[in-house]
Structure formats: structure tokens, C-alpha cells
Amino acid sequence: MDWWTALGGLAAGLLIATMTAPVGVSGAVFLLPVQLSVFGVPNPAVTPTNLLFNGITGPGALWRYSRTGTLRGPLTRRLVAGTLPGVVLGAAIRVFALPGPTVFRLLIAALLLPLGLWLCARTLRPVPERAVAGEPSARTLTGLAVAVGIIGGIYGIGGGSLLGPLLVGRGLPVARVAPAALASTFATSLVGAATFALLSLVSRGDVAPDWPLGLACGIGGLIGGYLGARLQPHLPETALRVLLGTLATALGALYLVQTVR
């Protein structure tokens, strides 16, 4: 990897993480098309490279959130407990059954595009309090976390980009969801990257992470994640919800366009 690629990865990780950390998204889901289209990372190596980015990026934002005490609570524990087994299963599915990105792009577009538009509309035109569904049950949270963990293991997105809009859309405050989503993303990314590294020993093809690029992007994301988490308390809840909905909508539209090309 040359210096220009390293600087490009550093800049991409810094910019993406700064924008997404305030709403509990590591940014790997936005980094994925950059790795595929700009840096030319092959499939399925792009997945563990993204997970490596998450693993390096996470401590910056989590350290900042831990200082405010927002990491503590049952929501964080339930999300982590569900996503960890899911990511191991997802990694195995990715290596042995789904090497291509087409299904992933369609899935993300179909989920995030309407979800992002709905979240923006609901924030700008609030529904009555009695119409808000409220916090899901413990069983629902765990099941959702397992499903998101599987998707994250398959495509290296950690899961925060899915958990955030879903939980905030149910009425949970962004300030509570963001640290929990980032904690689950961090934990699953470490386990997922390690799983891919082990699978690369018994599999053919590009299965191991692109270590230099993942490290470069991750260092930028480490700085950006801290800056984004530091910025969050200064942003109003409405602005955070609109930002999360906008990110979800933009991501869904991006993957839809890439799929129909």
C-alpha cells in the first residue's frame, strides 16, 4: 500500500466516523463502497477489513461515552450478548455461501431507504406519545441483535447502522441508543475479524483482512469517533434523529443505485 492510499484511508475513516459516531454508527457501512470502488479491496476480504476498521475505531467513541456514564445499562448488555454469536455465524455464511455483494446491497437498500425516510418524517412531524411503540422487550432486543449480528458478520458493517434507526424509530432517545449500538459494533467487529482470520487458514481466496488499509482507515476512525462522541451532547435530539434518518436514507439510496447499475 502506497502513502496516497494510506492517507486516503485515514481521511475517509476520519470524516465518516466524525459524522456517524454521534448517532451510534461506526461508519463501516459507508466505508464499504469506498473500499470496493476506490481502493479496490476484493470480495470477501472487504468484510473483515471493515470489521478491522470497526475494531480500531470503536475505542475512541466508547472512551468518550464511558466518561459520561452512558455505556452502562441493560440495553448495551443485551445488544452485545445477541450480536456476538450472530457475527460468528454470519462470517461463516459469508465465506462459504455468499461471496458476492449483490444480495447485501438489495437488503440494505430495502431496509434503510424506507426506514430513513420514515424516521425523518416522524421526527419532523412527531406522532402522539400514545402512538410511540416504546422500548422492545428483552427477548425482542436479543433476537434483533442476533439477526443484526449475522448481517454484520456477512457484510462487515458491525450493526450500528441497522440497530440505530430501528431502536430510535421505536422511540428510544439517540443519547441512549448510540453508546449501546457502538459497543455492540465494537465487540462484534473484534470477534468477526478474528473469525475471518481463522477461516482464512482453511479457505481459498481473499478471506483475510487488508491489514494496512484497515489500520489506516481505523486510525482515522479512532480520531473521528472520539470527535463525534464529544460533539453529540451539544446537538439537540431532533437534529440527531434527522441526522440518523438522513444517513440511513442516503445509504439505502446509494446501495440501490449500485445494485441497479
What's the whole-number average pLDDT of the chain?
Answer: 82
Cell 412531524 belongs to which residue? 125
- Quick: pLDDT tens for 132-173: 556 788 888 889 899 888 887 776 676 777 888 888 877 788
Q: pLDDT digits over 189-213, tens only?
A: 888 778 777 877 777 766 677 889 9
Residue 61 has pLDDT above 80, yes or no: yes
Q: Read off the DSSP letter of residue 97.
A: T
Residue 226 pLDDT level (bands cut at 50, 70, 90): very high
**Contacts for 69-77 with beta carbons within 8 Å, 24 or more apart?**
70/175, 70/176, 70/178, 70/179, 71/179, 71/180, 71/183, 73/176, 73/180, 74/138, 75/141, 75/172, 75/176, 75/177, 75/180, 76/179, 76/180, 76/183, 76/184
pLDDT for residue 156 = 64
> pLDDT value at position 216?
94
Question: pLDDT, tens digit, for every residue of 81-140?
Answer: 888 888 888 878 877 776 566 766 777 788 778 888 888 887 887 655 444 556 788 888
Cis upstream peptide for 44 (omega within 30°): yes
